[in-house]
């Protein structure tokens, strides 16, 4: 076997190995499921200003209603917490009439 044949065989082997490595990386890895929310905040407007209340469990969905000591409220939107260091989501509420 000549030098040319050895070089072609070596190059072909490297090409197959590279293709296998690229194919292995092309398969998307499954991301772990996100951890369930254990806390969230309620941001509610009252007659004397705003109040932020901690709640256990996942944040409420838009349109949900909740009964609190201050009265009945509807969730207008769910977004980032006004206290970013917590990393919790926040349900912004409006008094239901």
Q: Where are the alpha helices (DSSP H) in the chain?
A: 3-26
Instruction: Kindly report whether the global pTM for this prediction surpasses the value 0.75.
Output: no
52 vs 29, more confident: 52
Q: Locate the domains of the chain by residue range.
A: 39-95
41 Cβ contact partners less than 8 Å away, ≥ 6 residues apart: 52, 53, 54, 55, 81, 82, 83, 86, 88, 89, 90, 91
The chain-wide mean pLDDT, for the chain, equals 82
11/3 Cα distance (integer angstroms): 12
The residue written with tokens 């190995």 in the block is 17
For 10, the token pair is: 């070596």
pLDDT for residue 7 is more than 80: no
Residue 84, beta-bridge partner list: none
Mean pLDDT of 45-62: 88
């Amino acid at each position: 076997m000549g030098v040319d044949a050895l070089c072609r065989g070596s190059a072909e082997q490297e090409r197959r190995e590279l293709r296998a490595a690229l194919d292995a990386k092309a398969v998307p890895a499954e991301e772990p499921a996100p951890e369930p929310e254990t806390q969230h905040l309620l941001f509610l407007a009252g007659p004397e200003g705003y109040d932020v209340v901690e709640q256990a469990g996942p944040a409420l969905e838009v349109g949900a209603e909740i009964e609190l000591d201050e009265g009945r409220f509807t969730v207008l939107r769910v977004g980032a917490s006004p206290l970013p260091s917590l990393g919790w989501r926040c349900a912004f509420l409006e008094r239901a009439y």
